[in-house]
Amino acid sequence: MLKTKDILDEKNKILRKVSKEVTFPMDKEDLKNIDLMVEYLTNSQIDALAEKYDLRPGMGMAAIQLGVPKRYLTIVHEVEEGTFDTYVIVNPKIVSNSLEKIYVEDGEGCLSVNREVDGIVPRYARVTVEGFDTEGNKISIRAREELAIAFQHEIDHLNGILFIDHIDKKNPFKDQDKYRAI
Catalytic residues: 154
Dihedral, CA of residue 112, residue 133, residue 93 and residue 12, to nearest 10: 20
Residue 144 phi, psi (nearest 5):
-135, 160
Residue pair 60/9 in contact by the 8 Å Cβ criterion = no
Beta-carbon contacts of 62 under 8 Å, excluding residues fewer than 6 positions away, are 19, 72, 73, 154, 155, 157, 158
- CA 19-103-36 angle, 5° bins: 40
